[in-house]
Structure 1
Amino acid sequence: MTATLEPDAAVAEAVEQAVADATQFRTSVALFATGIAVVTMNDGEGGVHGITVNSFTSISLDPPTVMISLKPGRAHQLISEGGVYGVSVLSEGQQGHSRYFTGKRDSELIPEFVTGERVPTLAGSLARFECEVVNTVPVNDHTLFLARVVRCESQTGSPLMFFASAYHEPTIFAP
């Protein structure tokens, strides 16, 4: 009887440790300040689909290459099928846009888009990128979409930041 309980106790302890580790990991990684971006793509029905991310990374300057990380879902499917996506780096005044594309549409916000060569991006963003997927890499429960930047533009302003699971606007110090 003791032999039967020991494996169960060991499994329970392992599960408890895994949950604690996952919670601690989430808490720890939230302390890495990031910008916020909205990834957009054509929805296949003449409209635009978008998703808020903070996993946007510059990979290479030559050729210009970026990466996003997505879990399976509608955006993942549309990018996998279409092979293109847009990235809009949000400015400090676009907190509503971030919420809108997480599905929290608690306002009357109607996003305005800039029509690019192949994919729309958000008007008023600090930077906009049009990207063509060159490689995908599955990693655990996400897929990394590496893409060549085919067009980009930017404007001056302050970014919308995410730190400790909350939005922040940076304080800019003059030199």
Structure 2
Amino acid sequence: MDIRDLRNCLGKFATGVTVVTWNSEIHQKQGITVNSFTSVSLDPPLVLVSIDKKAKANERMQDKPFVINILSSGQEAIAWQFAGKEQLGLQIEWEDSNYGPKIQGSLATIECSPWKEYDGGDHVLYVGEVKNYHYEEGNALVFFQGKFLETNSIDNYVKK
């Protein structure tokens, strides 16, 4: 199977963009941009993020509480920053919580305690139990065909 072509095929599915954040042992704020995020269960409330096994974040976040920050349409620079592409002059405003650092201005935040980790081939699937959440009205940052896109208001979508 042509892996690059499979990636192109999977890129036809538009996803939201998140930055998963946690505190290191010395309370340093760390994070990684993730578009593999999904709800798993409402009872108990569980969510899942998928992290590449080769990513430094994979080992750093093991067994740690974490926050999923769903990015708003104006936060593309933050997505790039946590994807490993330094954004010179970018100032990230943080809010601390019991489960990790939250990125201010996010469309939503989901605070999690570690639930389980699963082998997912070349990724690790981290399932977190939702302990707290917050959301705002607004537009989301979206990833589609290898590019970030800003969504318009939901009012601009046409029902068919």
Same fold (TM over 0.5): yes
Residue 79 in 1 paired to residue 61 in 2?
yes
Distance 1:31 1:47 in 2: 36
**Gaps (5+ residues) in structure 2?**
none
Whether the aligned pair in 1 keeps the contact of 2:99 and 2:113 (CA below 8 Å) is: no
Aligned 8 A contact 1:42 1:48 in 2: yes
Indicate the residue corresponding to 1:152 in structure 2: 133
Whole-Å Cα distance in 2 between the matches of residues 90 and 109 of structure 1?
A: 15
Q: Which residue of 1 aligns with 2:18?
A: 37
Q: 1:28 aligns with which of 9, 19, 33?
A: 9
User: Which whole-Å CA distance do the structure 2 matches of 1:70 and 1:123 have between them?
Assistant: 23
For 1:74, give the aligned amino acid.
K
Query: In the TM superposition, what whole-angstrom CA distance separates every residue of 1:130-163 from its partner, at most 9, and x where no partner exists?
Result: 1111111102111101110011101111000011
Larger proportion of helix: 1
SS in 2 for 1:107: coil
- After superposition, the CA RMSD in angstroms is 1.4
| Paired position in structure 2 for 1:9 | none
Equivalent runs, 1:1-175 vs 2, <5 Å: 18=1, 21-72=2-53, 73-80=55-62, 82-172=63-153, 173=156
| SS of aligned partner of 2:105 | coil
CA shift, 1:62, in A, is: 1.4
Calculate percent identity across the aligned residue pairs: 34
8 A contact 2:116–2:127 mirrored in 1: yes
Question: Is contact 1:87-1:130 (8 Å) kept?
Answer: yes
After TM superposition, give the deviation of residue 174 of structure 1 in Å. Answer: 6.5
**What are the superposed Cα offsets for residues 4-58 of structure 1, whole Å, 9 maximum, x if unpaired?**
xxxxxxxxxxxxxx4xx21110110011000000000112222101100100111
Following the alignment from structure 2 to structure 1, what is the Cα–Cα distance between the partners of residues 120 and 50?
A: 9
Q: What SS is found at the alignment partner of 2:97?
A: coil
Give the SS at the match of 2:27: coil
After the TM superposition, list the runs of 4 or more consecutive aligned residues in structure 1 that deviate by more than 2 angstroms: none
The runs of 5 or more residues in structure 1 that have no matched partner are 1-17
With structure 1 as the length reference, what TM-score do the two structures score? 0.84
Please give the TM-score of this superposition, normalised by the length of structure 2: 0.91
CA contact (8 A) 1:42 1:78 kept: no
